[in-house]
Amino acid sequence: MTSPEFSEHARLRMAEMGVSTRRVKRVLRHPEVTRPGALGHKDGRTMFLGDGIGVIVQGNIVVTVIWDTREEFHRRQRYLEAS
């Protein structure tokens, strides 16, 4: 991926979360997991997960940044299955 552009929303989220552009670019270069964007969202988005964050990209634009909650999700699933 060439150097991404950042939407205004992504820049606001990064500031709120204390996430640097360097960290986002590192996740884009070396993601732990890459998958299509979430259901119900516009087609063509891709989510890159790594280093504790999720980076949602459409084309060459970082649309938003979120916390990576994969571990919490799996723990919750195991708890519910055991109940």
Domain ranges of the chain: 5-82
Given this model, what pLDDT does residue 62 score? 97
What is 5-82's CATH topology?
YaeB-like fold (3.30.2310)
Given this model, what pLDDT does residue 72 score? 62
Given this model, what pLDDT does residue 44 score? 84
Given this model, what pLDDT does residue 80 score? 65
The model's pTM is 0.80
- What's the pLDDT tens digit per position in 23-41? 999 999 999 999 887 666 6
Q: How far apart are CA 46 and CA 56, in angstroms?
A: 6
- Closest by Cα among 67, 55, 66 to 5: 55
Flag residues of the chain having pLDDT under 50: none
In sequence order, what E strands does the chain have?
A: 5-6, 33-36, 45-50, 53-58, 61-67
Q: Nearest-5° angle of CA 21, CA 3, CA 54?
A: 50
